[in-house]
Structures are given as C-alpha cells and as structure tokens.
A and B are shown apart, each in its own frame.
Chain A
Amino acid sequence: MDFEWTADQRRFRRRVRDLLEQLLPPDWDVRSGYDTSSRYVSEFSRTFCPILAREGLLIPHWPKEYGGEDLDPYYHWILGEELFAVGDPRSYQYMNVNWAGPAILRYGTEEQKAEHIGRIAAGTHIWCQGFSEPSAGSDLAALSTKAQRTDRGWVIDGVKIWTSGASLADFCLMLARTGPDRHAGISVFLVPMGTAGITARPIPNFMGEFSLHETTFDQVEVPASALLGAENDGWTIVRHIMHNERIGQPRYALAMRGMDRAVALLKQKGRFSGQAVRADAAKAHAALLAARSLALQVIDARAKGQAPTAFTSIARYALVSADRCVADFLGAYLREELMDRQDPLITATYRRTGSTGLAAGAAEIQLNLIGRDYLQLPKG
C-alpha cells in the first residue's frame, strides 16, 4: 500500500499542467466560465482535443492498437483531475474517452471500431448519451423509446430527456427498447446526430449553457450496423457504462480549487476569522479529500483489472456528500460574490456542485445499490 504518487505520475501531472498553461487563453476563466457545456468550450474542444491526441494525452489509458498509450487508469485519472480542475476543456468529449469509447472498444464489432474509434481518438467529434426519458429517470429500465427492425436496419422512435450536450454532439450512444422484457429487452445504438428525424431542444437550466436537452427521435432510420453489442443485451453495456460514469469525472478537483479560491477571497476581505466559517471550510475540505481517496480506491481496482463492485457507489456517494458541503459553504459564506458573479471559479463551483447528486444516477439509487450489493441487506 502506497499513498504517494510515483515520480512518473508526478511528471505526467506536470506535463498536463504545462500543456494547459500553454493552450488555454489567459482569460480562459471568464470566457469559458468553467462551463463544459458552453458553445465556447465545445468549439474550443475541437481544436484542443486534437492537440491532446497528438501529445498522447487524450486516451492515454487505451490500448496502443487503438491509438492509446497503454498507461494504467491512474494516468487517465490524473489527466481527468487536471482537466476538471479547469472546467474540462474537452467539453463533452470526456464522455467519448471515459465511457462511450471504452464501451465501443469492448462491445463493438470491427466495423464499428473502424468507424468510431479513430474519430474519438483524433479528438474531433463529440458524443452525447441518450439514456433518460420523461418516464425513465432513476428507473432507467422503464424506458420506452422503441427501435424496430426493418429490411435495412432499425427505425427509432421516442423522446430522451436531460441529454447533456445533445445540440453540440455529432453522435449519440443511446438506449432503445427492442423487446418486451424489462431489462433483457433493451439495446444500445450508435446514432449520428445529423440523421433525419432527430431534434435536440436545449432546456434552460442553472448548470450550464447546453447541459440539458429534450431529444426527439421521430422515425429515425439507422443501419443495422448501428446496434452495439447483441440485440436485447443493452443492459450489460449500461452497467459497464454506469460504473465508468459514476467514478468518471473527478468533480472534487474543481470543488477543491473553488474552496481554495473561496477561502482566499474571504481572507482578503477579512471574513475568515470566526470559528464557524473556518470549521465549515475545513469540514468541506476533509469531505473532498475523503471523496478523492475513495475514488482513487476505485481507480486502483481498475488499474488491477478487478471487476467493478458496489464500492463504486460508495465512492460516488462520498463525492455527492462532499459537493453538497461545498455548495452549502459557498451559499452561506460567499453570498455577495455569488450574487454579482464576481468570480467565475466560485460561480462555476456553486453551479457544478448542484447536480452531483443527480448525474450518473440519483444519490438515492447509489444508496439502494450500497444497501443491496455491498451491505447485502434483504430485499423489501
């Protein structure tokens, strides 16, 4: 057991930081607002990610034969930490490299890999994920979007909701019902967003410019090759993706920077001397450290090739709790700064921490999974 980063891991982190220093404009914080979903950041990602790719920093954890560097998941995690700490200039391409791409690598045909992996590895395309539906949120398996087999492939009909980045994306990894069985009647499709019949309507929200959409699929025709994995075996892929998504983005990295900035501002303004403010700040900091430590345990298991367990949900819930502490701290002690949006980092941290308990499955679903699979409590 060793809690120190290796010299090589530290060099890797330094390299990422140096590159960010070089590539991000000096007014990045104001222009990006640390908003992964903004038009500005998504356009930025289309030049930024190809540079990452050339530097071997877009998919360092992928196998060499698919353009990666064969580095263990720790390197990918360090990369994610450094990128998330500046609002993730990859925009939604983080989904490509964290879980959409890995799902295609694992379940895709040679033809699908040839079609998609090269583009993901080049950093030129953005993916979104069509999972949630108006009547299938936490109860994802209740989804009703249908894919019907035709002579040429499939026709997809239905409505997806809360789709992040849908109006920015080139492709969608989506779920549709191909059979009556609740779980064993779901399949995964890889769909170009430019296909006729797809409409993505942005839903205004307080998290980010294009972070939520209603995405309609109206008689959308896709070829047979759009089906990922076996027909009706989509739930297996969903579980694989959810494991990578729950501990997918190191959200604490932005929150830690946000807390450091918040305290610096409070000190500057002479508002960091009371016991309450100091103790609350420290409790939020300790919670973030705990979230990071538990996330690293998940990464450690991945690095050793171990199968995912419900510990992922424990780590995710710790992240939710920590972000909640941070949001409460900012709301309580940085009221003025939040009101007039003086500081992009504080504003973004406050916004981002607002969705942690819902993204990648509601926190209460994580508690269900911990109870059932980790504590092995009896069924209700």
Chain B
Amino acid sequence: MDLALSPDQASLLDAVGKLVAPFRSPPAGLRETLLTSTALDRALRDAGFRDVARFDGMGPLDAVLVAELVHALPYSVEYAGSALLSRVLGRDIDGPLALLEAPAATPTRFLQAGGTALIVDGEDARLLAIGRDAVEPVETSFAYPLGRLRPEVRGTGTRLAGAGALVRQWWAVALAAELSATARAAVDLTVDYVKDRRQFGRPLGSYQAVQHRLSECMVAVQAMQALVRRAAALGTPQAALAALVQAKEACARIIYDTHQFQGAIGLTYEYPLHFYTYRLRLLHGELGSPADCAEQLASARWGDAEVDWNE
C-alpha cells in the first residue's frame, strides 16, 4: 500500500498539466454548452497521453490520473474511455471512442464519423470504425457531441468474442473517472466563487450553511476519486462497480449545490459552470440508472461465495 504519487506519476501529471493549461478557461462569447477542441484532442494524442495505460511500467491507474486533469477542463474531450479500453483490448483506437450497448440505437457521446464505436453485445463486444454514412448527428442541449448509429450498421463490426464483461468493467471505471473529475472541477469553481461573491456585506463562503454543504461536496469528490483510483489499480469488476456507484450517488447533490451557490450567473452560457453540470447530467444515467448499477454491485459483492469484509 502506497497512496502517494510515484516520481514517474508526478512528472507525468506535471507534463499533462502544462499541456492542458491553455485549455483551462473557455473562450469568451460562447452561446451554447457544447465546447470541444480538435487542438486539444490532437495535442493529447501527439504527446502520447492517450496511450499512457499502455506505456511500459504504467497502466490503467496512470490513465485515470491523467483523466483527472483532462476531464476537469471545460472542454468535452473523449479521453478516459479510449485510454483505458485501448489497453484492455490491446489495440489502437482511431478517433474518439463511443461506448454503447446493443442494440446500439441510443444517442451516444462522441459517436462521430472518423471515430470508433465499441458495442457491448451480451457476452461479446463489437468494434466498429465509423464511416461518414454510418452516423447521424443528434441535436442536443447537453455538453457532449452526440451521434446515433444508422440502423443498418448497428449489428456490424468486428466481433470480440467473450470481451463483453471486460469492456463493461472498464467502461464503468472510465465513466466513474469522468464523473469524478468533472464533479471536482464544478466544486472547485464554486469554492472559488463563494470566496469572492459578497452578499449581506460578507462573502457567501463565510456563511456556515454554505460552508457545510461545500465541505460535504468535497468529501463526496474525495470519496469518488479514491474509489476510482482504487478500481483502476485493482482491476476487479467489483471495484469498478463500487467506484461507479459512489460516483453516481454523489453526482446529483453536486449538480444541485454548485448551481445553488453560484446563483443566476451559473445558469448563463457566459459562466463555465454549465460545461460541468451538463456533462454530469448526461453521465449520471450512462450504463444504467444509479439503482441499476448498485444492484449489479450487490450481485458482485454478495454472490454465492462466502465474503470476507477485507476483500
């Protein structure tokens, strides 16, 4: 057990931090909640950060650490999914990775021409390079680019026999990592805001009602982050589900509290909160409702085998 960053991890995060620094603030004058950047995508790819989990001496945990920085940006970036699943599948993934479940008919994040779709289909999975005619864009008010597979390609793709459970497991870790980083960014933004914003002659952050709820939000994001890192490091289906359950459980209150404390400015497109909360909203229901995910964790934890509390 050693819960501090290794020197390699510290220098990796330092390098990623420098690379994403220009993307920490959104450009001015935006009039919608969707913000993407091909420059950021290209920079991450060119620097090799998408392949961190496949580097010698590194693994899924390192990808999750990078994801904590990347998904805290106001930009919607496809990172955690492809960084983790390229390692699991042992292959390069072209373009952004869209993760979906058969029958693959729902609007899906990052499902776009030039990218890749990974479809969980029962015990198997299918990998599909998305051609220009395979996808129809979906108009959305959420903060991710959405697309839908055309009916004729939903059953196609290269079959990865028996890969269904593994893809599902690492999809859960990727989703939990993205929830955790996005929630952290929303809370950090709010903490900064209440230090400056004054009402009734004093900073909002000096009121105990505000302090207690933000402190609870910080406990929640620390809990999310701890279980996501653990899930990436341990690599078990149960740890993945635990991380996802914890992340989904915390997400709703963080959306509510961060909006409450930033008042009406937080509802506008000129202020960056919506980038985070509109992503959280969409992620909240991905891979099933919070109760569905919790039920799966119950099955994993309390199946037929005798359990030891320490496991």
User: B9 to chain A: which residues have CB within 8 Å?
Assistant: 1
State the CA gap A85–B310 with chains docked (Å). Answer: 10
Question: Does the CB pair B242–A285 fall under 8 Å?
Answer: yes
User: B218 to chain A: which residues have CB within 8 Å?
Assistant: 314, 370, 374-375
Interface residue? A201 (CB, 8 A): no
Question: Does the CB pair A5–B215 fall under 8 Å?
Answer: no
Question: Does the CB pair B214–A285 fall under 8 Å?
Answer: no
User: B302 to chain A: which residues have CB within 8 Å?
Assistant: 260, 263-264, 267, 272, 281
Known contacts: A260-B307, A275-B295. The answer to whether A283 contacts B249 by CB under 8 A is: yes
Among B15-23, B76-84, B127-135, B225-233, the stretch that binds chain A is B225-233
Q: Which of B207-245 contact A (CB under 8 A)?
A: 207-208, 210-212, 214-216, 218-219, 222-224, 226-227, 229-230, 233-234, 241-243, 245
Contact for B294 among A264, A282, A374, CB less than 8 A: A282
- B289 shortest CB reach to chain A, Å: 9
Interface residue? A94 (CB, 8 A): no
User: A263 to chain B: which residues have CB within 8 Å?
Assistant: 298, 301-302
| Interface core residue of A74, A285, A297 (most chain B CB under 10 Å) | A285
Question: Does the CB pair A282–B245 fall under 8 Å?
Answer: yes
Contact for B1 among A74, A276, A290, A379, CB less than 8 A: A74
Question: Does the CB pair B1–A293 fall under 8 Å?
Answer: no
A280, closest chain B residue (CB):
B294
Question: Does the CB pair B3–A296 fall under 8 Å?
Answer: yes
Interface residue? A76 (CB, 8 A): no
Contact for B229 among A3, A4, A318, CB less than 8 A: A3
Interface residue? A378 (CB, 8 A): yes
Question: Does the CB pair A370–B219 fall under 8 Å?
Answer: yes
Question: Does the CB pair A2–B233 fall under 8 Å?
Answer: yes
| Interface core residue of B212, B216, B245, B309 (most chain A CB under 10 Å) | B309
Considering only CB atoms and an 8 Å cut-off, how many residues of chain B contact the other chain?
A: 54
Question: Does the CB pair B206–A379 fall under 8 Å?
Answer: yes
- B123 shortest CB reach to chain A, Å: 23
Known contacts: A1-B3, A1-B6. The answer to whether A377 contacts B206 by CB under 8 A is: yes
Interface residue? A304 (CB, 8 A): yes
Interface residue? A43 (CB, 8 A): no
Question: Does the CB pair B211–A282 fall under 8 Å?
Answer: no
User: A291 to chain B: which residues have CB within 8 Å?
Assistant: 223
State the CA gap A39–B207 with chains docked (Å). Answer: 45
User: A294 to chain B: which residues have CB within 8 Å?
Assistant: 222-223, 226
User: A278 to chain B: which residues have CB within 8 Å?
Assistant: 294-295, 298-299
Interface residue? B175 (CB, 8 A): no
Interface residue? A194 (CB, 8 A): no
- B202 shortest CB reach to chain A, Å: 7
Interface size class of A (residues with CB under 8 A): 35 or more
If over half of A's interface residues share one DSSP class (helix, strand or loop), that class is named, otherwise mixed; here it is: helix
User: A314 to chain B: which residues have CB within 8 Å?
Assistant: 218-219, 222
Question: Does the CB pair A380–B227 fall under 8 Å?
Answer: no
Known contacts: A85-B309, A286-B249, A380-B207. The answer to whether A1 contacts B229 by CB under 8 A is: yes
Question: Does the CB pair A377–B194 fall under 8 Å?
Answer: yes
State the CA gap A374–B214 with chains docked (Å). Answer: 11
State the CA gap A73–B179 with chains docked (Å). Answer: 32
* B-contact 0/1 string along A215-259, CB 8 Å cutoff: 000000000000000000000000000000000000001001100
Q: Which of B1-50 contact A (CB under 8 A)?
A: 1-6, 9
Question: Does the CB pair B215–A370 fall under 8 Å?
Answer: yes
Interface residue? A150 (CB, 8 A): no
Interface residue? A126 (CB, 8 A): no
- A308 shortest CB reach to chain B, Å: 16
Interface residue? A81 (CB, 8 A): yes
Interface residue? B191 (CB, 8 A): yes
Interface residue? B61 (CB, 8 A): yes
Question: Does the CB pair A285–B211 fall under 8 Å?
Answer: no
- B197 shortest CB reach to chain A, Å: 11
Q: Nearest 9 A-B pairs (CB), nearest first?
A: A371-B211, A290-B223, A279-B294, A293-B226, A370-B215, A282-B297, A256-B309, A3-B233, A278-B298
User: Apart from A286-B245, A368-B212, A371-B208, what 12 extra A-B contacts exist at CB < 8 Å?
Assistant: A256-B309, A257-B309, A283-B245, A286-B243, A287-B223, A290-B224, A291-B223, A370-B218, A371-B212, A375-B205, A375-B214, A380-B202
